Amino acid sequence: MDVDTPALLLDLDRVERNLDRMAALVAATPVKLRPHAKTHKTARIAKMQLERGAIGICCAKLGEAEVLADGGITDVLVTTEIVGERKIARLIALAARATPTIVVDDARAAAAISGAAIAAGMRIDALVDVDVGQHRTGVAPGAPAVALGRAVAALPGLRLRGLQGYEGHVQHITTVPARRDANAAAMSLLCTTAAAFEAAGLETGIVTTGGTGTAIFCAGFGAVTDVQPGSYVVMDAQYGDVQGVGFESALTVLATVISVRESWAVVDAGHKSLSSDAGAPRVLGVNAELRLAGDEHAKLLFDGVPALPLGASVQILPGHCDTTINLYDEYVVHRSGTVIARWPIEGRGRTR
C-alpha cells in the first residue's frame, strides 16, 4: 500500500459488514439503534448508520455534535452532562440548527439550561442520566432519579423525554455469562427506575443504554428503547478479547520498519500514533510481540533475527479504537488493500 506512515487505515468492506450486522441484530429486537459517534468521529459514517435504520446519533461532547451538525446530522444525543455558561451558550446555538437531546444529573444544572432555552425561545429535549453501576456521572437510581425527573419535567425550557443509563463498566467483561449477568444487574437498576418514572407519571419514551459489548443483551429488557454502541464499527484489540461480540476488526495503523537489529525491528509509530489507555496494540501477520517504545516508536520483538527488512510495512491493531482515531486527522479508506479515499476525521480533538 503506497501510503506515507504512520497512517490510520479503515477497511470499508469490513466497516460496511459491521454496520449491516449491527443493524440486522438490532432490527430483530424491539429496540432501536442510536449509535455513538465518539468512536468514529465523522458525519460520513454517522450517515451510513442512519441509512441503515439508526434513529439518531450519540456523541460525547458538544464539539462532536457541532461537527456532526456541520455534516448534516441533526438528531444528536449528547451523552455527557453540559455544565457552565459557555457550554450552555454553545448548546443554545446548536439547538438553533439541530435537534440536540441532552442528559442531566443535577437539578440546578438542568435549571440553568432551561433558563437559557427559555431566553432563546426554545425547549430542549432532556434525559435523566442514571448511574446504573458505573459510578461515574448520573444520579443514583430509584428515588433520587425520580426526584430529578420531577424537577426536569417542571422546567419550562426542557422537555423530559426519559432516561439514560449507560453501563460502561460491563462492556469489556470477557466471558458471555459474566457479562450478561453484570449487564442484567445494571438493567435491573435502569428498568426499576423507568418503572418508578411511569408510576410517577414521568415520560419514558426514551430509555437508552448499552454499548458494543452489551447492546443485544440490553434489547431483551422491556423498558429499554434504544442502544448506543460505538466501537462495533471498527473494533480494536480490547474488544477483540471480549467473547461473543462478533464484529470484524476494520481499523489498523500502517507503520514502516525504520531500524532492524539482531532480535528486534523498530517501526515509526509510538504513543503519538497508537493509544495505550486500554488494551495493548498488536502487530498483525508477523510473529513478533509489539512493545510501544516512546512517542514515535514501537519495537517488534522477535524470537531470533527479525523476519522483516528495513522499509517493510506492517499493520498494527490498535488497543483502543476511540483514542487511537482521535490521534489522526484522516482515515485512509481501503477495500482489500486498495486505497479508495481519504476521509477527514472532523471530530478529532473535539473534546469541548
The footprint of its own copies (CB under 8 A) covers 2, 4-7, 38, 60-61, 80-84, 86-87, 90, 105-106, 108-109, 131, 135-138, 140, 168, 256-261, 264, 266, 268-269, 271-273, 275-278, 292-297, 299, 310-311, 320, 322-323, 326-329, 348-349, 351-352
Q: Which of 48, 267 has the CB closer to its own copies?
A: 267
Q: Which of 32, 38 has the CB closer to its own copies?
A: 38
The CB-of-149 to its own copies minimum distance in angstroms stands at 17
The CB-of-246 to its own copies minimum distance in angstroms stands at 23
Please say whether the dihedral angle defined by the alpha carbons of residues 68, 59, 159 and 225, taken in this order, is positive or negative: positive
Joined together, the cell numbers standing for residue 135 give 459510578
Lay out the sheet containing 99-104: strands in order across: 32-33, 226-227, 206-209, 158-164, 124-129, 99-104, 75-78, 57-59
The CB-of-261 to its own copies minimum distance in angstroms stands at 7
| Cα(33)–Cα(42) distance, integer angstroms | 17
Contact criterion met (CB below 8 Å) for 212 and 239: yes
Distance of CA 269 to the CA centre of its chain: 24
Contact criterion met (CB below 8 Å) for 253 and 272: no
Q: Which of 85, 199 has the CB closer to its own copies?
A: 85
Q: Which of 14, 350 has the CB closer to its own copies?
A: 350
Give 242's DSSP letter.
S
CA 349 vs CA 62, 69, 78, 252, 327: distances in Å: 12, 16, 16, 19, 8
The CB-of-80 to its own copies minimum distance in angstroms stands at 6
The CB-of-349 to its own copies minimum distance in angstroms stands at 6
Q: Which of 22, 292 has the CB closer to its own copies?
A: 292
The CB-of-18 to its own copies minimum distance in angstroms stands at 20
Joined together, the cell numbers standing for residue 274 give 497508537
| Ramachandran assignment for 87, one of left (phi > 0), alpha (psi -120 to 50 degrees), beta (any other) | alpha
Q: Which of 121, 304 has the CB closer to its own copies?
A: 304
The CB-of-66 to its own copies minimum distance in angstroms stands at 12
Q: Which of 205, 349 has the CB closer to its own copies?
A: 349
| Cα(285)–Cα(287) distance, integer angstroms | 7
Closest CA to 214 of 201, 195, 192, 230: 230
CA 285 vs CA 10, 63, 66, 279, 290: distances in Å: 17, 37, 39, 19, 12
Q: Which of 161, 320 has the CB closer to its own copies?
A: 320
The CB-of-313 to its own copies minimum distance in angstroms stands at 9
